[in-house]
Amino acid sequence: MLTPLDINKKEFHRSFRGYNCEEVDEFLEQILRDYGQVYRENQEMREKNQRLSEELERYAHLEQTLKDALVMAQQAADEMRQNAQREAELKLQEADNKAREILNQARAQAEKVERYQRDLEASTRAFKMRLRSLLKAQLELLEDAVEAEAAATADRQVEQLREPGPGEEEITDCELDPCRQE
């Protein structure tokens, strides 16, 4: 590429009936100024383009880093959600198992209480039957004892009546029994 210095150092050979030297020199100076300005602007644009390209590359790298971070965050969130769901399912299953266990224990306890109640009722019935039998036996014994006591008392009274007191005579069975007296 042609530089402003190349334009400035350029010399033209003179020939017969050539161009007007002053006009050529003025034109070259004008070109030199304009081309120098365009060249500087071009250099600035190149530098700016280089900076922007580097910045664009940095932003592209940053964008990729952000995308990667977003993907990782999404994966972590998905994994956390799956873990939470698995943990919730495990806790529900544990709670369900615990509820079944408690229910089974309650049923077993209820059956035990019902068996105990039936045993108590059977024991109560057996006790009542034994108590009735005992009371009947005791009542019969008491009635027999009362009858025996009454008979013994009657026999003693009869004996007392039969024994003569001083100066009395002995009474016979016929005299004691009103049916025999006639």
HSE-CB for 54 with a 13 A CA cutoff: 5
Q: Which of 10, 70, 2, 68 is nearest to 36 (CA)?
A: 2
Residue 56 CA, chain-centre distance (Å), reads 53
pLDDT digits (tens, 9 = 90+) for 29-68: 888 888 889 889 999 999 999 999 999 999 999 999 999 9
Pairwise pLDDT comparison (38 vs 7), residue with the higher score = 38
Helix-then-strand count for the chain, H and E: 3, 0
- Quote the pLDDT of residue 160: 81
Distance CA 24, CA 31 (A): 10
83, two tokens = 């873990």
Q: Is this structure's pTM higher than 0.85? A: no
* Alpha-carbon torsion, ordered 103, 104, 110, 113, to 10 deg: -140
Least-confidence region, from 1-5, 70-74, 122-126, 171-175: 171-175
pLDDT digits (tens, 9 = 90+) for 132-179: 999 999 988 888 888 888 888 888 888 887 776 666 565 565 555 555
* Mean pLDDT over each residue of the chain, to the nearest integer: 86
167: left (phi over 0), alpha (psi -120 to 50) or beta: left
Pairwise pLDDT comparison (120 vs 172), residue with the higher score = 120
Distance CA 125, CA 33 (A): 133
**Residue 10 pLDDT class (50, 70, 90 cuts):** confident
